[in-house]
A and B are shown apart, each in its own frame.
Chain A
Amino acid sequence: MSERLGVRKTYKLVLNGAFPRSESGRSYEVLDAAGALLANAAQASRKDLRDAVRAARAAQPGWWGASAYNRGQVLYRVAEMAEARREELVDQVVAAEGVERVHATATVERAIDRIVWFAGWTDKIAQVYGGTNPVAGPYFNFSIPSPSGVVGVVAPAEDSLLGLVETVMAPICAGNAVVVLASETRPIPAVLLGEMAATSDLPAGVLNVLTGRLAELAPVLADHEDVDGLDLAGAGEMRADLAARGAGSIKRVLADDPRDPDAAALRRIRAFLETTTVWHTIGQ
């Protein structure tokens, strides 16, 4: 019997629920931990980024408009999809990070558990960060957390799966839509997460994944005035510059290490929340 031809996968962008190549037609080589060719990935352009932000902006009100319970269900389904594809994820973590299989398995399991953890938080954020405020008058006074809107994430460069899940799922859990710039050297787990999200009822445009050159894309993302928040976890030496650019349009900027324990992750949720305070007369 003849040998099967290999079915090689093209890793494309995740943009508004679809999987297009870069508008520019460019791609770049992704190497494994040993320096051998692992795959070709799309090299996104500024226009892809603009389209991604537009898609995220359009999708965000619908995502936030869904009930918190429903958002939790959808994120739980992302975890279900990841669980079904865990071997593929393990293979990619082994190839990209060059770790032992047992370590990679532990990383993938932890990442999936973290998705479940974020799924559980969707309908609890309001209890923790919202509440009734005591006021000296015949009024109720409520503070209600609401999402910032569109959050740009520069995913961690090294920790290509776990760090990605932390930085992406936290703002999505809070009701934001996300445009993530995947790790430049290890982009494949991000594309896989985007594929899983697209098959789990997450509305198109809530998670957009761009692969490509960080130096080209990150400044455009940080400058983009229609982006409300920036997570610069993977920005490295560009962090200060990107934060300054973000300040140009008064973005919320988070620039810490996602590999902190749970409290830190809760801070990631908090980072892209706004507070709406409402007065309401009593007894009318």
Chain B
Amino acid sequence: MEQVSTPSRIASGSAVVRIPDTASLPVIETEAALRTLLASLSGVDAVGAAARAAKLATRSLKQSTKRDALDLAISMVDLTTLEGADTPGRVRSLCAKAWRPDPGDPTTPSAAAVCVYPDLVATAREALTGSDVAVASVATAFPSGRASLAVKLADVAEAVAAGADEVDMVIDRGAFLSGRLGQVFDEIVAVREACGSAHLKVILETGELVTLDAVRRASWLAMAAGADFIKTSTGKVAVSATPPVALVMLEAARDFAEATGRVVGVKLAGGIRSAKEALRYLVIVNETAGALWLSPRYFRFGASSLLNDLLAQRTKQRRGVYVRPELFSGD
């Protein structure tokens, strides 16, 4: 496995994950095979998951560990704007912010990506030329996912052609919840092909999946179908990323990596606004999946206002005083 540099202090005492060198992903050619795979997953102890997540939330990161963790969290942010009122100007300013989150301090890491609608990908691509910041685009009839496959694939093709490095697709929750698993699987496979070299993030919209069992099954389904990332939410429904959901998805990613040798990333989106929450999620990542996932390659936060709180906390750690929120640009 490749070595990903992670702050050693955060990663100390990580969960131990043994990832086999040779891939052994079962070939899924029929819906029956998919059902067998998903039926082999054990149920999630919802009370236990909530208790475990709550217990991990009591961990406290201090001093240099906290500083490292804040920088890591900043480097994991997919700075997102998904509003009907988005304009090219707004996207350009967001790109500038993702590239240099704190212009007053050049040691601040860049965000991982900006995440926009497909029609604004070209604008973002142009604004980010020369940077390491990736351009992500939502696609496939975001946020509901309720369109024909042809429309979804055209949406993806447009985003990729405009220069998207990463595509965030939504699954058809209606199909998943009514048991048409083969349809969901086939859509992900088709979108995966349409993505070409772009990374595919599959949004499960966990707030609509109701149970943690469904979250675990949907995670496996998406990973088996070829997702590079599994993502919690669109941010457009009332319930978004929660610690128990993050725990279950990270467990799924870990188990999938141990079973198949393929490492799939996890992206949490929606409702994460404070640095404190972000650091709690990093603890969950470390304790559940392990240090390998403590990298923007395998873990992301989809957020907008979170970045400013991370920057405020970072500045507080460096200067020792609480700063004005206005110190950092709004988005």
A contact residues vs B (CB 8 Å cutoff): 50, 53, 57, 220, 223-226, 248-249
Contacts and interface: CB of A to CB of B under 8 A. Distances in A.
Interface of chain B: mostly helix, strand, loop or mixed: loop
Pick from A53, A220, A226 the residue with the most CB of B within 10 Å: A226
Contact of B323 (A57, A220, A225): A225
Interface of B: 320-325, 327
A225 B320 contact: no
A249 B327 CA distance: 12
A226 B324 contact: yes
Pick from A50, A224, A248 the residue with the most CB of B within 10 Å: A224
B320 A223 contact: yes
Contacts of B323: 225-226
A50 B321 CA distance: 10
A226 B320 contact: no
Contacts of A57: 325
A53 B322 contact: yes
Contacts of A223: 320-322
21 contacts: A50-B322, A53-B322, A57-B325, A220-B321, A220-B322, A223-B320, A223-B321, A223-B322, A224-B321, A224-B322, A225-B321, A225-B322, A225-B323, A225-B324, A225-B327, A226-B322, A226-B323, A226-B324, A226-B325, A248-B321, A249-B321
A220 B323 CA distance: 11
A155 to B, nearest CB: 21
A50 B274 CA distance: 13
Pick from B320, B322, B324, B327 the residue with the most CB of A within 10 Å: B322
A224 B323 CA distance: 6
Nearest to A223: B321
A25 to B, nearest CB: 12
A50 B320 CA distance: 13
A265 B320 CA distance: 34
Given A53-B322, A57-B325, A248-B321, 9 more contacts: A220-B321, A220-B322, A224-B321, A225-B322, A225-B324, A226-B323, A226-B324, A226-B325, A249-B321
B204 to A, nearest CB: 33
Contacts of B320: 223
A226 B324 CA distance: 5
Contacts of B322: 50, 53, 220, 223-226
Contacts of A248: 321
